Amino acid sequence: MKNGFVKVAAASPSLKVADVAYNKSQIIATVERAAADGVRVLCLPELALTGATCGDLFRQKTLIDGAWNALIDVVEATKDLPIFFTVGLPYLWRGKLYNTVAAVIDGEIRALVPQTRVSNAMRRYFTPWDGDSAESMYLDPMLSNLGIGSTIFACEELPTLSIAIEIGDDAFASVPPAAKLAEQGATLILNPAATPEIVGRADARRGLVTSQSARLVCGYVRAEAGRGESTTDYVYGGHDLIAECGKLLAQSKPFGSGYAVTDIDLQCIELERAKTNTVIPDQEDIGWETLFSLPLEETLLTRKISRSPFVPEDADARLARAEEIVAIQAEGLARRVSHIGCKCVLGISGGLDSTLALLITARAFDILGRDHKDIICVTMPGFGTTSRTKSNAELLCESLGVTFRTISIGAAVKQHFADIGHDCVTTDVTYENAQARERTQILMDVANMENAIVVGTGDLSELVLGWATYNGDHMSMYGVNGAIPKTLVRHLVAYFADTAADEGQAKVLYDILDTPVSPELLPAKDGEIAQKTEDLVGPYDLHDFFLYYALRYGFTPEKIYRLARHAWGEVYDNATILKWLKTFYRRFFAQQFKRSCLPDGIGVGTVDVSPRGGLAMPSDAAATLWRSEAEKIKE
């Protein structure tokens, strides 16, 4: 449970209707399996001890007593297992029969949670629970006092693990019990259920689980009744699902294994609640709390950690994401151009960033019905420009029908070197940045001449690392890529290539995608790019991974390193990951001053470093805590 991770599972054991002895054995075997898998919280289906389709047999005292006795046997058989789990059963109390779930751990029943929203069909047997809080009840001298009602189960060793239970149809209430329980501190909601499979039900179930976890900013686990339920009217598929903050992390296919397991990140839930402030604790009505204990240990991660958190892995989702982002970027620029009534000027290098900026600008002009000739693209070859990138820039501009100009910066930069006393031979930071600033000066002046604005091309990854020349490529009059990380820039350019109607344009875009990322500020070697950005600041795929978890969730360096090892371990060794993580924190803090004065730009996602609506960070914030923790990490 280190770093806030806890392994959870939803399972649908096979059963026989009303055969509590058989069902008991299957439940015990499932709990044992889950515990062996490292699961510490297990959700079993509604009425798992009897089956949910017993009908009028629920009224039989024999079945009611048999279920209770079977529960006692389950508790005894699992008393040495370090796992919190639920068992559903009918319970007769004060002359009313309730559909309840027993919360079990360490050989004890910690409470009985009754269903509050009972369907019309099940009201024939069960009474809805109408109590707001738990009530004390005496069940058995061996079990001492128990509670029955709504409660939160809080882990003493891991305060962020607070479990609550809502049963079956409770989840469909206009105000489900989970909403109140989340306000009272519950971070993990268990939903034992028993709904039959009909056409479309699986999709609806997925929507329910993901939406509940998103709305309540929690982990949500739903276990469905499976094979063995009566097929007199319906079949039950054992569709088990686990979601976290709106993301479906694991599920079993209907009529499949009936077992879903993954790791819930409680630290992520805690930080997300603090950030969004949508789940507000109700200090006046903190619910009844039951404490339990679990051993503190490091959870072996099995959840899928995407290597590219900014780019969806599913092909359809990738396409939809690309179309949405392109629309946001283009609409933003179109509004600014329409408001000013101007043209646009861009510096075109043949690299990824300027390519995306040009494609977005063209799309914006299409929205406005403007002639592409009002897009003025300027390529400014310098000491490191290669024929490959220069050619790609020209070909792309030609395919888009924009105005294209070539303005060499060589002579102007040499004159500048002479003016400031630089020898033109020493390829230091002055040598590089003088070229970047000369290019920006040209773009700004051309924009003045043409009644235009300079469209910035720099991306989010460069801004986070400070890989931009102050008042050089760092500056523009409107930035379209400022909220787009490098890995996403590549994906968006690939989207334009894949959907291009012009075969020649697609060929150019694919070649640009194959070109190494470089500012081309150092002289080429044998006509090839000599200065590769990722050799200097590190792989952008790693840095984008780091910045996502550092800025989106506020995770610690230690946790980000752990996640990176889990996601990237087959590509980069531990030493490489740690090296670039340290570089990330060093540059991120040292370069904030560049981000504090960014021009206007378009925000597109939850990670944004704009000083206006994104990252509010002082330029002189100390990195001591973060860098100290990173230094303590052992490979």
pLDDT at 259: 97
Taking the C-alpha atoms of residue 552 and residue 453, their distance in angstroms, rounded to an integer, is: 31
Beta-carbon count within 10 A of 380 CB = 24
Domains of the chain: 2-292 (3.60.110.10), 315-632 (3.40.50.620)
How many C-beta atoms lie closer than 10 Å to residue 390's C-beta?
18
Q: What is the pLDDT of residue 501?
A: 86
3-state helix, strand, coil in the chain (%, to 5): 40, 20, 40
pLDDT of residue 507: 93
pLDDT the model gives residue 613: 85
CA distance 71 to 137: 17
Question: Considering only CA atoms, which of 617, 388, 418 is closest in space to residue 515?
Answer: 388
Q: What is the pTM of this model?
A: 0.89
**What's the pLDDT at 281?**
64
Find out whether 188 and 264 touch, Cβ atoms under 8 Å.
yes
User: Within 13 A of 25's CA, how many CA atoms are on the CB side?
Assistant: 5
Using one digit for the tens of pLDDT, what is the confidence trace for 408-454? Answer: 999 999 999 999 999 988 988 999 899 999 999 999 999 999 999 99
Amino acid at 306: S
pLDDT the model gives residue 94? 85
Query: Cα separation of 147 and 145, whole Å?
Result: 7
pLDDT attached to residue 140: 45
Strand order through the sheet with 375-379: 403-406, 375-379, 343-347, 452-456, 478-479
DSSP secondary structure string, 475-535? Answer: --SEESSTT--HHHHHHHHHHHHHH-S-HHHHHHHHHHHHSPP----S--BTTB----HHH
Q: What is the DSSP letter of 138?
A: E
Q: What is the pLDDT of residue 388?
A: 66
Spatial separation of the C-alpha atoms in residues 44 and 12, rounded to whole Å = 6
Q: What is the largest CA-CA distance in the chain?
A: 100
Contact status, residue 580 vs residue 538, Cβ threshold 8 Å: yes
What six digits make up the tokens of 171?
Answer: 């989840």
Residue 159 CB: number of other CB atoms within 10 A?
12
Regions in the chain scoring below 50 on pLDDT: 137-143, 286, 531
